[in-house]
Amino acid sequence: MCHSVSFSLSLQPSLTNTDIMFVKIHAPWDTLCKYAEQMNIRMPFRKKWYFTDWKCKTMGSRFHLRCRQIKSWLPKNPMKLDKEALPDLEETDCYTAPFSRARMHHFTINNRETFFSNSTRSRIVHHVLQRTKYEDGKSKMGINRLLGNGTYEAAFPPHEGGYKSRHSIKTHGAQNHRHLLYERWARWGMWYKYQPLDLIRRYFGEKIGLYFAWLGWYTGMLIPAALVGLFVFLYGFLTMDTSQVSKEICEANTTIMCPMCEENCNPWKLSDSCVYAKVTHLFDNGGTVFFAIFMAIWATVFLEFWKRRRAELTYDWDLIDWEEEEENLRPQFEAKYSRVERVNPISGKPEPFQPLTDKLSRLMVSVSGIFFMISLVLTAVFAVVVFRLIAMEKFASFDWEFVKKNWQFATSGTGVCINFMIIMSLNVVYEKVAYLLTNLEHPRTESEWENSFALKMFLFQFVNLNSSTFYIAFFLGRFAGRPGKYNKLFNRWRLEECHPSGCLIDLCLQMGVIMVLKQIWNNFMELGYPLLQNWWSRRKIKQTERTERKGGRENVDSKVQLPQWDKDWNLQPMNAHGLVDEYLEMVLQFGFTTIFVAAFPLAPLLALLNNIIEIRLDAYKFVTQWRRPMPARATDIGIWHGILEAIGVLAVITNAFVIAITSDYIPRFVYAFKYGPCVDKGYHHENRCLHGYMNSSLSVFDMGQHRNQNKTEQIRYCRYRDYRAPPWSTVPYDFTLQFWHVLAARLAFIIVFEHLVFGIKSFIAYLIPDMPKDLCDRMRREKYLMQEMMYEAELEHLQQERKKNGRRYHHEWP
């Protein structure tokens, strides 16, 4: 396959499996230089000392010296990695320029073996392998096609060595970059340290480096959100016993509530739900609106500052002028449309072409499949709703008094657990369906395939994860009806009602349980599953060695150290979908953290704790459990940025509706200003102005001569949560004026909240430029310096050449 290029090949049989033969490819210096020039790879350029530290000259060295003295007196930041712990990466301290063999003397080449890093070498080799023909024919080209037809089992760059050492890294140093990454990044003891992004980029490539940079940035930005959410939760906890609503519920020993089911259920006292009311106040208090506005602004600030951070990274990693190479067509695309060709407007060469009608028809089938899977999700949610209705009746009439008293917790808890099992089961189905639908579309290139697959996976899992949450937030208790005229599902089960203190606690329980269980499951699948697979592979190798020794065949000496490629072969390959699963998990978490954050202020804290673990889990997985992935370049996080912005917009809308409809903030607000004892006195004290709120929010129903089974007294009237006229009114059970006031206030709040937050978000986005001004100045300065240095270096080289030849020296440009 590689006869047309000057690669050296060698065959090496596996020491652990005689059926495996390794083909090792080595690229010599001349070949690396040739393709580095073709690929416009930027390499460290020779730098003149008098061009450095120009800021010091303009701002004054005394000022900088004073700043350094003050900085030396301050305690060191424990999160920063020691400079001694990391090697001095040459390209980070030098200007870079596109490599050129004609001007090779301009570049800093101290050692030919290390001038091109291992990741750069791997990228060059992979670039050549993708474009080399192995047989005659248009489509007989590229390593990917050979992998697809089974000629080769795998193609991967080897790790740089072992990740562990007998000696301490502090005394003996790192034996290779993999060892260094493990000690300074992947170990659990480094959880509080910043990530060595330059080293990650050097070892794994810019695409994976950008993922970890984004993940670290997202985790760092979660710290203020988690602190504010914790303060809101603590405020609810500290005011839980003094809340007027909770006190009225806990003291309502004489308030009789209507039965929760038609059969075997008795009227119950409102005071029986005292604990439920107090727990509700933890999440539905005065800080809810503030926190919702804060998180909407936080999402905008996070994305805007990530743009700036990304700009800095692309500058530091020499990606500013990098343009994505024209990708090769996918072998499946070539095979399908090889008969129809058109000229590529970029390369000018004929290539297979997908007709528009074929593309649209396949897209329609794919969209239909997406809607079918979404309808399957809604069917599963409907099944959970039916289960909750059945469970509600059973728990409300349960023989065990503890369960009967806490039937609402029992109903919500069992419903959430069953919903979680359905979610995780359907996720497996969705991945296979998304894979089939994406292949059915026949995307032209791998990046198009990855974007299409990522969008489908996000839509499937987002709907799957949040559909039941949307039901609880906006539909639970809205259509239950009233006593004597309840709405029933299939004329059998009464629809679920909200607690007198609101539905927000059900939403909170749904979010908390699913978020915690999903994070635990994901972490197990990310690390536990590869660990078990690798353990099983090592176990099979040991069993094979024992069998061969017993049979008298000493093919593998236990004392012989396995070569690195043999060790890497026994590791797990990187996920076939690349970083899609990694991004998908974090983007779904971002949605959970922002969309319903008004109902669960602890969501950012749980996300922060999970991400601290997630960074080290992913680091450990990449360094120790996976084969080294092929280094790839990228300038951004791709389609995920657009998805994050869409989630930020959706979060504003959903939080407005959660506060207005799900929580009791608006009804309490209307009562305090319109119906409470402080109407004529002004709004001064929350608890004082909410006195009598609970009684105002409960309506009266005439049960007739209903005899309680446990008591001899007769109960005629019971209370239920609604704003309706009493039975003795001239228009019994009609909506009262307070109902319409609350409804109008809710609609007004939604409009004001959305316009206010969207205005603030737009203003912040306008104020924060995508690229820091300092970075723009540095880029212009570097461009100027590069021209000067190129001139000086070329002139110096010309002078040396003329001196060697004995020619006269003139100050002129050659």
710 or 790: whose pLDDT is higher? 790
Coil, helix or strand for 366?
A: helix
| Mean pLDDT, the chain, integer | 80
Residue labelled with tokens 């009804």: 667
- The H-or-E segment that residue 668 falls in is helix 665-670
User: For position 547, what pLDDT does the model report?
Assistant: 64
Residues 556-595: tens digit of each pLDDT: 444 457 888 888 888 888 876 778 888 998 999 999 889 8
Tokens in use for 358? 């074929």
247 or 522: whose pLDDT is higher? 247
Cα–Cα dist 384/420, whole Å: 10
Counting other chains too, the contacts that 51-59 makes at CB distance below 8 Å and 24 or more residues apart are: 51/785, 51/788, 51/789, 54/781
| 147 band by pLDDT with thresholds 50, 70 and 90 | confident
DSSP assigned state of 661: I
Whether 810 shows a pLDDT value over 50: the answer reads no
Cα–Cα dist 22/156, whole Å: 11
Bridge partners (DSSP) of residue 22 are 12
238 or 56: whose pLDDT is higher? 238
The string of DSSP codes covering 144-169 is HHHHHTTS-S---PPPSS-S--SS-H
- What is the CB neighbour count within 10 angstroms for residue 374? 16
Q: 160 with 176: CB under 8 angstroms? A: yes
Residue 171, amino acid: T
| 538 band by pLDDT with thresholds 50, 70 and 90 | low
User: For position 581, what pLDDT does the model report?
Assistant: 87
Whether 643 shows a pLDDT value over 90: the answer reads yes
Whether 2 shows a pLDDT value over 60: the answer reads no
Which of 636, 776, 785 is closest to 322 using CA atoms?
Answer: 636
Residue 762, amino acid: S
Bridge partners (DSSP) of residue 342 are 351
DSSP assigned state of 200: H
User: For position 397, what pLDDT does the model report?
Assistant: 67
| 68 band by pLDDT with thresholds 50, 70 and 90 | low
Whether 52 shows a pLDDT value over 50: the answer reads no
Once rounded to an integer, what is the mean pLDDT over residues 727-731? 88
Cα–Cα dist 615/186, whole Å: 8
Q: 456 with 370: CB under 8 angstroms? A: yes
| 325 band by pLDDT with thresholds 50, 70 and 90 | low
Counting other chains too, the contacts that 783-792 makes at CB distance below 8 Å and 24 or more residues apart are: 785/51, 785/95, 786/45, 786/95, 786/97, 788/51, 789/45, 789/46, 789/47, 789/48, 789/51, 789/95, 790/97, 790/103, 790/106, 792/48
Residues 83-93: tens digit of each pLDDT: 666 665 545 56
User: For position 812, what pLDDT does the model report?
Assistant: 43
Whether 33 shows a pLDDT value over 80: the answer reads yes
Cα–Cα dist 695/665, whole Å: 16
- The H-or-E segment that residue 257 falls in is strand 256-257
Once rounded to an integer, what is the mean pLDDT over residues 723-729? 90
Task: Give every CB contact of residue 310 below 8 A, 6+ residues apart in sequence.
Answer: 210, 213, 214, 635, 636, 637
Bridge partners (DSSP) of residue 194 are none
- What is the CB neighbour count within 10 angstroms for residue 488? 13
User: For position 50, what pLDDT does the model report?
Assistant: 38
User: For position 54, what pLDDT does the model report?
Assistant: 44
User: For position 638, what pLDDT does the model report?
Assistant: 85
Task: Give every CB contact of residue 137 below 8 A, 6+ residues apart in sequence.
Answer: none
Bridge partners (DSSP) of residue 626 are 572
Cα–Cα dist 39/116, whole Å: 13
Residues 260-315: tens digit of each pLDDT: 777 777 788 888 888 888 888 888 888 888 898 899 889 989 999 999 999 888 88
Q: Is the dihedral of CA 739, 479, 388, 260 positive or negative?
A: positive
Whether 179 shows a pLDDT value over 80: the answer reads yes
User: For position 556, what pLDDT does the model report?
Assistant: 46
Residue labelled with tokens 């983007």: 587
User: What percent of the chain lies above the pLDDT cut of 70?
Assistant: 81
Whether 214 shows a pLDDT value over 90: the answer reads yes
Residues listed for the chain: 814
Whether 227 shows a pLDDT value over 50: the answer reads yes
User: For position 87, what pLDDT does the model report?
Assistant: 61
Residue labelled with tokens 């120009």: 54
154 — phi, psi (to 5°)?
-160, 160
Cα–Cα dist 557/560, whole Å: 5
Q: What is the pTM of this model?
A: 0.84
Whether 316 shows a pLDDT value over 60: the answer reads yes
362 or 322: whose pLDDT is higher? 362
Residue 730, amino acid: T
User: For position 605, what pLDDT does the model report?
Assistant: 93
Whether 742 shows a pLDDT value over 90: the answer reads yes
- The H-or-E segment that residue 423 falls in is helix 407-441
User: For position 393, what pLDDT does the model report?
Assistant: 73
Which of 656, 687, 657 is closest to 672 using CA atoms?
Answer: 687
Cα–Cα dist 428/522, whole Å: 13
